[in-house]
Structure 1
């Protein structure tokens, strides 16, 4: 009796298993309710975008060092005791401004003596000139008086220069650096006084590979960034291209100029330079809108309620955008969703999504063909 019950149990279990398999196959084979409509399949809803014109650029990156357009270490023209320091470190001064005055009492006296000697020589010369014209004096006496006058004028000029050298003036407009001098200190012509930098324009020196020589020209745009100013891009232009290639590094030195009216940059700063070699306006689409099959790049377009597959030629790729070189009409609508469910000619319901592709706020950078470093 137990054996009969066991056999009946196995038969019931087997029947249940077969029934489950049958129902599973029927369910998998049934069409999806959303797709089953009278007369065929419902169009697939997709989102589309229009290609947007974006500025793409070929660029090369390098590291450079900033320097003031004009910079000098100030030294006195003569030795002596400091009478007055007319600047404070960090001051901006104009060209010709007095920065330092030395004790000039002796030079003032020498100038007064030279003026007196010149006055005597001038009076003697005037007398001899008058006598020479009337024939009462010889030419020799006239020439002697004239030579004495010239010597007196030279001595007066020498005394005036010596007096001027007791003051130090700014050779150009700029910002004065730090100084350790104090009034009353005795200095000589080798004593450093301060530095003077013209920071209105900053120059940045950097180097690029010699292979870029045919593509270089004065005036090319340079974008510079500094760790001191995160997120800020300084715009400059190439002002100088070296006439020689460095034989050791096979690189060419360049110099860029950057307006620096707010004095954000200072000499000696380390900067990252991006030299723009070429810029162009091209259509751009999202990277996820393309399909790569071997060496072919394909996109799906929405045309008249159907999907159409076209082949395009692409260029640079960065920041989620792909440059379209050819094969895509600017007025085309590119499908960006449900691509895995589409085939060429499939019925679609297209919905525009203009916000999916926006023009890049800055030029897209190509992979750098070469890089270098500046000193």
Structure 2
């Protein structure tokens, strides 16, 4: 019985060993096949990527000074009251455009107007008295002193009348200049005091931009130099103007000096208080190496380009990745400080399809824009 049991155990061990060998062989065969397949894919040449190309070229750029500016109205005030009283009429709407001298608000002035009528009556009487004494003086009936007294009384009434007219006019608030009104600050029937704000009035066209520059640029800046301006409120839009004033004083704390430029603003896009990026074109030039911005690969560890060259074996064009150091950007172009030479060709589109030392096909039928002063098609 024990002999037969030992034989059975040996057979089971042999069967188990055979199964292990069988399944192990199958697994090894599959692993070998997967390895060979991956190796084939790794060594398989990728199809050439189609890209556009651009040549790194030297250009002459006019020097530009950059600054942060604040927009300010040529004329901008808080329209206030001069007299105390109750608002009897409001002749404007918030946000309305008004012209110089246009009536905005009336303050009740009944007592002042009544006093004006009294003075007008006194004026008529003073004139009649003066004319009567003047006629009598001509006939030698009255003295020179009588004539002077009536003349003095007439002048006094005239002066009082002008004072009273001014008091009445104080209750008529008009626009001191043409511009755009802000939000109304008073209500009908409100009792206002002298100096109380009625509404903001801003002249928007033209408009000023004030900005500061370091003192080392003082000799380079002059009146009438061109200025360009951009603002986050209207991205992609550029506004042009020129320098109209330079403060002769250098700030002792910041060592900067204040510059003011004037810009046309017919569409009223630019508003007082806006932040703006300002660029001043000065009378200086420099030579720069440029490529289109679309040729750059932006990465946290550095910017790079794909340089297009003939393969070592004469097997077509290949793309070699190269890190570069960039400088100023203008329009569609970017300045290259290090990493490229003039005349080298780079890929300007299709960069996501490229790999280092990969084959490429150049097709420049529809290249990306590469202008220093791009303009929208609808501008």
TM-score (norm 2): 0.64
User: Which of 65, 77, 84 is residue 82 of structure 2 equivalent to?
Assistant: 77
Distance 1:55 1:166, change over 3 A: farther
* Partner of residue 276, structure 2: 271
Structure 2 equivalent of residue 293 of structure 1: none
Deviations 1:263-310 (A, max 9, x none): 10111111111111136597977599xxxxxxxxxxxxxxxxxxxxxx
The question of 1:243 aligning with 2:248 is answered: yes
Pairwise mapping of residues 317-332 of structure 1 onto structure 2 (< 5 A)? Answer: 319-320=333-334
- The counterpart of 2:142, out of the listed 137, 142, 146, is 137
CA distance in 2, matches of 1:320, 1:117: 81
User: Contact 1:49–1:354 (CA<8 Å) still a contact in 2?
Assistant: no
Say whether the 8 Å CA contact 1:90–1:177 is kept in structure 2: yes
Counterpart selection for 1:215 from 208, 213, 220: 220
Tell me: CA distance 1:77–1:357, structure 2 relative to 1, closer, same or farther (3 Å). closer
Alpha-carbon distance in 1 for matches of 2:54, 2:187:
74
Structure 1 residue runs of 5 or longer lacking an equivalent are 1-46, 289-315, 329-333, 338-352, 364-375
Asked which structure has the greater RCO (Cα within 8 Å, sep 6+), the reply is 1
Aligned to 2:101: 96
Deviations 1:105-153 (A, max 9, x none): 1121111111100000000000111111111111110000000010111
2:63 corresponds to which of 58, 63, 67: 58
For this pair of structures, how many residues does the alignment match?
270
- Structure 2 Cα separation of the partners of residues 270 and 49 of structure 1: 37
Secondary structure at 1:277 match in 2: strand
8 Å contact from structure 1 (residues 73, 192) kept in 2: yes
Q: CA RMSD in A?
A: 3.3
Contact 2:95 2:181 in 1 (8 A): yes
Structure 1 residues 162-173: aligned runs within 5 Å: 162-173=167-178
Contact conserved, 2:55 with 2:291, CA < 8 A, in 1? Answer: no
CA-CA distance at 1:204 after TM superposition:
1.1
Question: Normalization by structure 1: what TM-score?
Answer: 0.64
Match 2:127 to one of 98, 109, 122: 122
Q: CA deviation at 1:361?
A: 3.5
Q: 1:335 to 1:194 in 2, by over 3 A?
A: closer
- Within 5 A, what are the aligned runs for 1:198-237? 198-237=203-242
